[in-house]
Chains A and B, each alone.
Chain A
């Protein structure tokens, strides 16, 4: 039956995620065997008293790899889950936080905070600084999402041209403002700004994870339950109302939660595009459009995909590192073009 299928799919995706996580922890400049990873776990939870690993390996695993992999998991899940929810809200599979300007809005606010936050943010690396950045990015993401929604929705229908054009306009605006900020920023601030526009998990630390955890875990916990209302919304706003859903409540909840997680992701990792577009699309192609599966499935697959992309970005040109945004865009753009061509065939653009 349908229900069981959903659970099998989620289980399969979870196994994939676990495999990717283990691989990402083990592969790198300092190599760690899977058996050594297991030994580290069993040693530290007291199952075994003989460490089968070097202290250097453990330091790399705990201080570098693990926070980075966890960041990839959290941010990948956040981007994909908000992408799928926003697509449900806009009723269009092309709506993606990066494309429609939500990430840029978040970046702009984060940049403003870095440059003008001045004394508030003496140390961006401090916990407090990250929280402030996340909050600012959330505000930027929310304001943009709200504006885009107002501009692109007409009589309950998304005008996809208006949606994408608004995205282009907002992206350009945010880009130029961020560019302006580079002229008045100090060297230290400039480094931070550059990092934002490229997107990277390189800055991951336990502190950054702690600061985005609340912003990401709340949407991750609630958005999967929006599958039903978002399915109903696919029939139309009026129809969803007839089925007992408060359309305004759905819109509010999805907009706030999705922009919260996008904002937090942007605050610590910059703009990582296409994850929110490609991941839900893969789930829809593979297992159908039911949002009750697409949203949780996207969360898990998004986590796996971004962790994998990060593994590629830090190993493919080792010892140097590619910005992860390049990897996701390389993989994502062709999928995006393919999706547009499908929509043109259906004459829905």
Chain B
């Protein structure tokens, strides 16, 4: 379980996160949504120990994040950041193998190579294995990065997957496939925390949703509890309608017009 206790984060006088508390459990997908600049990425950075919170604490499986050695943390959780650039031209396979780096010294074992193959299958990039990363399209690159992140915790049954806008650059099919993949991993016992922009996508797959607004918690709960016209209007400044559809457990959100640009 990742437990966030009254976490705040500020840069100088500017408060980016203010008193955020929630719990994310293994076996569940926790989706974080909110307008641009609401503090979503900052929150994820605090969760993966990229920087310490200004106040409050983050407990990772019962212990403070800081008490974990870097290597151990890397063996238990992997992180997909928003901007991934690569300075040297690696092949897809070499890049996915990097996900196994926390697990082997020197040369990868057969098991590590097997994990790489499985992660490439899971993300549908097996046929690109020998190509160099820079020759891929943006969406393909994103899937390769995702495969690397999955390979890192593939054999850790209660591992964590922290994803910052993983659907960036993906087409409709691959967006769905990514969330199906995340769902399958959560069902196997992994914990997934995911920043998403598409509210309907988040609501369809998440067990828990957190809406952030200007660094504060706007709403927290199951998609059905959280998704309503008021919450969306407050968080995004846009009027929406809810539409029930028998294929979705949670009503679909469609926009009806921009009311408040500020």
Residues of A within 8 A of B (CB): 1-3, 88, 91-93, 158, 228, 231-232, 234-236, 238-239, 241-246, 284, 288-291, 346
Contact = CB atoms under 8 A, between A and B. Distances in A.
A244 B73 contact: yes
B71 A244 contact: yes
Given A232-B101, A244-B101, A244-B102, A2 B86 contact: no
The 5 residue pairs across chains A and B that have the minimum distance between CB atoms: A244-B74, A91-B87, A289-B88, A244-B102, A242-B79
Given A2-B93, A232-B101, A93 B113 contact: no
B250 interface: no
A291 B87 CA distance: 12
Contacts of A93: 88
A234 B74 contact: no
Nearest to A249: B70
Contacts of B113: 1
A234 B90 contact: yes
Contacts of B101: 228, 231-232, 243-245
Contacts of A232: 98, 101
A299 B168 CA distance: 40
B66 to A, nearest CB: 13
Contact of A238 (B75, B81, B97, B102): B81
Nearest to B108: A3
Contact of B88 (A242, A243, A284): A284
A235 B74 CA distance: 15
Contact of A235 (B84, B102, B107, B134): B84
Interface string B65-87: 00000111111001101011111
A288 B91 contact: yes
B89 A289 contact: yes
Contacts of A158: 87
B192 interface: no
B94 interface: yes
A234 B86 contact: yes
Contacts of A235: 84, 86, 95, 98
A236 B74 contact: no
B48 interface: yes
Contacts of B95: 235
A289 B98 CA distance: 13
Contacts of B93: 2
A346 B101 CA distance: 29
